Amino acid sequence: MTAVGTGLRPDRRAPAEPVLRRLGHLLVRRRRLVLSLALVLLIGAGVLAAGAASGLSLARFEAPGSESDRAQAELTERFGTGSPDMIFLVTARAGTVDDPAVEAAGRALTERVGREEGVAESASYWTRGKPATLRSADGRHALIVVRIPGDADHVRAQVLPRLVPEITAGDDLLQVRAGGGEEVFRETVPLARQDFVRAELVIFPLAFVLLWLYQRRAMAALVPILAGVYAMVVGLALLSGVLLVAEISTFALNLTLAMGLGLGIDYCLFVIQRFREESARGASRADAVAGAVEHAGKTVLFSGLTVAASLSVLFALPFDFLRSFAYAGIAVVLGGLVAAVIVLPAALAAFGGTMLPKRVRPERPDGFWHGLATRVMRRPLVFGGLATALLLLLASPFLGLRFGVADDRILPPEAASRQTQEVIRQFFPAEETDAIQLVSRDAATGDVSAYAASLSRLPGVAQVDSAAGSYAAGARVGDGDQARFQSQGRGTWLSVVPSAAALADDPVRLVEAVRTVEPPFEVLVGGYPAELSDYRSSVVDRLPLVLALMLGVTFVVLFLMTRSVVIPVKATILNVLSLGVMFGAIVWIFQDGNLSGLLGFTPTGTLDPSIPILMLCVAYGLSMDYEVFLLSRIKEEYDRTGDTESAVATGLQSGAPLITAAGGILALSFAAYATASVTFVQMLGVGMAVAVLVDATVIRAVLVPSLMRLAGPLNWWPRDRPAAPRR
């Protein structure tokens, strides 16, 4: 029945505008108010950001609730002792550490350290009966081991800055240098911060030049950089709220700086580019802004959701250090979205003419990228096969990945604590300060003797100290110290001192060997090597969960965007290839030592798992970032034409130049961190630069069109028809 037949008037109302387009028009009408509020928000966020930066915490590599964690708690509560937090390397300026005058000075220094505020225990070669493990082979050096209870903030920020300068002043008889894990990481934090600040000073002018070369307008180059700063400041301000309920590592500040600029530039480039396209088609400035928010804004929102979702999987790990990066990454993504989807459109409405090209060049639908996509889709198996083979070759070093633990060699050779550790590695036969501790609540002295002897026979064990005596190679070599190793009642503990070679080679394997020796009573295995082993095991054991969550969450986001099952699967496969290349590069460079001379770092033959896991989440999110940008253009063309091949070629022609430019700028931004003095920062910069470059070139330009050509109509399953275009 028709409208005429019923006497009803036909409904001639235009279909309702999409929400984002209405938002764009609102931002145009209220541009002055929006920009004023944005300025107020920036000032307020700046105040909060300053407070957040000072409220960030130092963190340790710990596995809460692990066996080593329980052992440390038992050792402290029952025996009033624990693992040393730091060491002082004492060198005799003349003679040996056994000379009477040097020995007297060493004893006095040990007692002096023990009286310092914050120090719970202080012992040395001279106060522990002169064990060989605390004396260098040449007799010139001896060690003072110090226990400082408290969290990392208390130890590194309050006690050590006061203790180290005072004790290392030395005197006419003794030269004193500081070392140990806490001192190493105390030096790492300011060096890493300097690395990031120095890199940012290079990145900002470099990014401006590259943006100007691409945009050819100074304002169009400046605004994305300002958006990046806006994202950083707002991100840090948001962290100030998180600090009320959670601890955030100081290293999260570095991630905020690195990601804030990159995401701010990326998101703003896509909005500005769409604004330019709409303007070139003859749209008024108001409609051009609304069109940019509708199309580019939607893409940016999905992209931000993808990056945030990838980082959010770090919450599945029970480690404050890694969770800090999730908080920081999500906060800076939110800051970038506010800058690109709210503030930038208002700025475009106010002075968008300064961001338009001076000369409008006609669009070339059959340009370079269109031609490349067409050639690839003519022979998808050939091009796709060659590209895949290349990426697999670049990723192949990943097969040799060996997880280890970080030590002082993450610092540059001139770092004071690293120089201290180098002397210990070179001249001391054992690592007394990194002993493995076996704690028992219920053990008799007679049981301890045979157990200690068995442990001392393990390869890599220099000596075992206990209440029943000290043992080396199965033989008793010293008297027992019951006051140190025995508690009231039947509790006892043993100190398994590793050789320097064993600790440098693989401390985790030594811990595993100690745990395989059958004890005559129940024990908890602790100490620094066991803490590292438990932390590494906890991280590695949760890798499958992290991967599953990351793949699942991003699959859902891409499905919501494309309404396709096949495209998210394809995107996942391509991003795994990109990650493979990144990990291949960091294994080849930072584990195996290639390019170590050029980059100026010391390879250890292993990689600490923390930074690669962080890189996994960040790189996966950024890879999906470019996938979302490209897919949005392809899907838009497919909805308009219903032709997959034409949509891929046209979408690549429209999106690839911008993706390549944005990827190049982001890659150069990360590459600037290759000049860092801390290996962790170098690894993050080089790995991320490789991932972004591979993703923005080979994968987007070759593998995306080849796989979409092979899939054909299946790309859009279960939606087999394009959506009707909006009129």
Question: Which element (helix H / strand E) includes 69?
Answer: helix 67-79
- Strands, E, within 499-654: which ranges? 524-526
Is residue 30 domain-resident?
Answer: no
pTM: 0.82
Cα–Cα distance, 493 to 467 (Å, whole number): 8
Provide the pLDDT for residue 245. 81
Reported as a single tens digit per residue, the pLDDT across 569-610 is: 888 888 889 999 999 999 999 999 999 989 988 898 888 887
Q: Following CA atoms 310, 311, 317, 319 in sequence, which dihedral angle do they give, to the nearest 10 degrees?
A: 170
b/e map 11-47, b = 16+ CB within 10 Å: eeeeeeebebbebbbebbeebeebbeebeebbeebee
- Residue from 332, 327, 267 nearest 297 by CA: 267
Burial of 476 (0-12, 13-18, 19+ CB in 10 A): middle
Reported as a single tens digit per residue, the pLDDT across 615-674 is: 888 888 777 778 888 888 888 888 888 888 888 998 888 888 888 888 888 888 888 888
- Is the pLDDT at 9 greater than 50? The verdict is no
Give alpha helix (H) positions in 563-591.
Answer: 566-586
- Residue from 515, 400, 510 nearest 451 by CA: 515
For the ranges 103-107, 349-353, 469-473, the one whose mean pLDDT is highest? 103-107
Provide the pLDDT for residue 33. 95
Cα–Cα distance, 337 to 333 (Å, whole number): 6
Reported as a single tens digit per residue, the pLDDT across 66-79 is: 888 899 888 888 88
Out of 179, 208, 238, a domain closes at 179
Out of 472, 506, 526, a domain closes at 526
Is residue 276 domain-resident?
Answer: no
Provide the pLDDT for residue 201. 82
Confidence of residue 727 (pLDDT cuts 50, 70, 90): very low
Out of 497, 526, 555, a domain closes at 526
Asked if the peptide bond before residue 713 counts as cis, ω within 30 degrees of 0, the response is no
Is residue 156 domain-resident?
Answer: yes
Distance between alpha carbon 137 and the CA centroid of its chain, in Å?
40
Listed range (208-222, 326-340, 435-449, 456-470) with the worst mean pLDDT: 435-449
Is residue 232 domain-resident?
Answer: no
* Phi-psi map region of 479: left, alpha, beta (phi>0 left; psi -120 to 50 alpha): beta
CATH number at residue 151: 3.30.70.1320
Reported as a single tens digit per residue, the pLDDT across 671-707 is: 888 888 888 889 988 998 999 889 888 898 899 999 9
CA dist 284 → 215, 349, 690 (Å)? 20, 10, 40
- Residue from 90, 87, 119, 120 nearest 105 by CA: 90
Is residue 370 domain-resident?
Answer: no
What's the mean pLDDT in 173-197? 87
User: Would you tell me how many other CB atoms lie within 10 Å of the CB of residue 372?
Assistant: 18
Domain that holds residue 101: 85-179
Confidence of residue 259 (pLDDT cuts 50, 70, 90): confident
Is residue 672 domain-resident?
Answer: no
Provide the pLDDT for residue 1. 40
- Residue from 425, 535, 449 nearest 64 by CA: 535
User: Would you tell me how many other CB atoms lie within 10 Å of the CB of residue 78?
Assistant: 17
| 1 or 496, higher pLDDT | 496
| 243 or 375, higher pLDDT | 375
DSSP track, 135-186: B-TTSSEEEEEEE--S-HIIIIIIIHHHHHHHHTT--SSEEEEEESHHHHHH
Is residue 460 domain-resident?
Answer: yes
Is residue 150 domain-resident?
Answer: yes
DSSP track, 640-685: HH--HHHHHHHHHHHHHHHHHHHHHHHHHHHHGGGG-SSHHHHHHH
DSSP annotation of 520 reads S
- Per the prediction, the chain carries an average pLDDT of 85
Provide the pLDDT for residue 10. 42
Cα–Cα distance, 515 to 451 (Å, whole number): 12
| 725 or 333, higher pLDDT | 333
Q: How many domains does the chain have?
A: 2
- Is the pLDDT at 14 greater than 80? The verdict is no
Give the β-pairing of 141-147 and 174-179.
Answer: unpaired
Backbone angles phi, psi at 361, to 5 degrees: -95, 135
